Each structure stands twice: as C-alpha cells, then as structure tokens.
Amino acid sequence: MYEVFLKRFLIASLAVISMSGIANADFNDEVNCMAENMYWESRNQTFHGLLAVGQVVMNRVHDPRFPNTICEVIQQGPTKPSWKDPSINYPIRHRCQFSWYCDGKTDEIPEVDYQIYEFIRTMALKVSQDYFDDITEGATHYHAYYVTPEWAVTKTKTLQIDDHIFYRWER
C-alpha cells in the first residue's frame, strides 16, 4: 500500500516538474536544502509531521524578519571563520536555527534511507511551491515536546504534531 502511494506521489510530482519546466540549479539547491531539513528534523514523523516542519521553513521565508530563501533560513545562525582559511565561515556548533545543521555530525543520508529521502525530496518540492495548505497556522518555530526552550514563552502555541510543538511569532 505504502509503495503504491509513494510511486503515485513521485510520478505526479515528476509530471509537475516537467510541465513547469523546473530545471533551474538554484531552485534545485533550494529543494535540496528543504529536503535535508525535513529529513534531519522529522524523518521519523508522520506525513503531517514532515509537512509541518517544511511549512515552518516556508513561513519564515515569507516573513520579513527572516532571510528570504529556503537555504538561508535553514542555514541561519552565527558563524566563525575557519582557522585554515579565514575567508570561509562555518556555523558555530549548536547555535543554528535548526539543530542538525550545526551539530557536528555528518549530513550524509544513510543508504538505508535513500527511498524515504526521495519521498521527502518530492514533498520538499511541493512544500517549496506552497502546494499544501499551511497546517501549522503560520508557525515560525517548533521544538521537540521533551525540551522547553526559553523562547517558547514569547510565542503563540499553534499545535502539536507527533514529537513537535509549533509556535507562531506574532507581529
């Protein structure tokens, strides 16, 4: 059942890509950034959990208080120059907006997860095109249910999906 759904979803998405003429390298980079973020932040969650994490990124892209591209939103955080080459900046460990991006661990997708990653990448394409209605009610932040970050008291809780609690940053 799942494999049939996955194949139909992938075929429909490929048709959208070919009809729209999307082949732009910058666009593909943005989709890859979104897919990696959705994978590392919520690969063990349901479809709605994956979708909500992607929609938080898009809500930030559309909000002038955040950077205006998917990759810039995901990679947002303080940096420091490399000790080998000061012209190259690296994110400061554990200080990024999305924890996986600067946790010091490898970002290589394990071979065993290639199929789920391709599914997530297809979802990322659709999320980046605002294909789905926003199920997060405008959320710009989230965290795992088992932690309580300081910023949570300053945001409006919108919902909980799977292991994540979502919040909107009021204007």
Segment 97-144, tens digit of pLDDT: 888 888 889 999 999 999 999 999 999 999 999 999 999 999 999 999
Position 80 in a domain: yes
Position 13 in a domain: yes
Position 10 in a domain: yes
If you count DSSP H runs as helices and E runs as strands, how many of each does the chain have, helices first?
A: 5, 5
pLDDT tens for each residue of the chain, 171 residues long:
555 555 555 555 554 544 444 445 556 999 999 999 999 999 999 999 999 999 999 999 999 999 999 999 999 988 899 999 999 988 888 888 888 888 889 999 999 999 999 999 999 999 999 999 999 999 999 999 999 999 999 999 999 999 999 999 998
Q: Looking at the 3D structure of the chain, how many domains does it have?
A: 1
**CA–CA gap between residue 15 and residue 10 (Å, rounded):** 9
Domain of residue 66 covers 2-134
pTM reported for the whole predicted model: 0.82
Position 38 in a domain: yes
Phi first, then psi, for residue 167 (nearest 5°) are -135, 150
Residue 98: which of 67, 125, 123, 120 has the closest Cα? 67
Position 153 in a domain: no
- E strands along the chain, which residues? 79-81, 89-91, 141-144, 156-161, 164-168
